[in-house]
Amino acid sequence: MKLPSIALLFFLLSACSSDDSENSDVAIGKVVFEANCVVCHGKEARGLVSNWKEKGADGKYPAPPLDGTAHAWHHSPLQLLNTINEGGIKMGGQMPAFENTLSDDEKQAALDYIMSLWPSELKTKYEERFK
């Protein structure tokens, strides 16, 4: 198991004292996201390019936004978790696999954070479809 950084540990400890466990997962997820995902998916998961459907100069698709403006919300929580675990490199994409670099809790928290960025009508639709 990979040990979380001191900063994350401190954060987890302070987050655990919060009453609202869902909000603290989101807060932890933000830390995980900013440490591991923001380089490609951009601040608040808005993506780094104006058109994520267009291949870059390297012939590969850029990281899509995960904030509800692209496709992520079409995929079940399990599919999204699979992408985080397996990445996209195997399939010719660019995303590294996080299976062994993040704990299950960190992956779930990152996903909770991503979903917290979605507009509420999207979240409602998503929950009706997948829960």
Q: Which of 52, 54, 34, 53 is nearest to 43 (CA)?
A: 34
Stretch that binds ligand HEC, among 1-9, 12-20, 72-80, 120-128 (CB under 6 A): 72-80
Distance CA 105, CA 20 (A): 16
Q: Applying CB under 6 A, does 41 fall inside the site for ligand HEC?
A: yes
Among 24, 83, 108, 116, binds ligand HEC (CB under 6 A): 83
Distance CA 24, CA 11 (A): 10
Maximum CA extent, the chain = 47
Q: Applying CB under 6 A, does 46 fall inside the site for ligand HEC?
A: no
**Contact set with ligand HEC (CB under 6 A):** 36-37, 39-41, 61, 63-64, 66, 70-72, 75, 80, 83-84, 87-88, 93-96, 98, 110
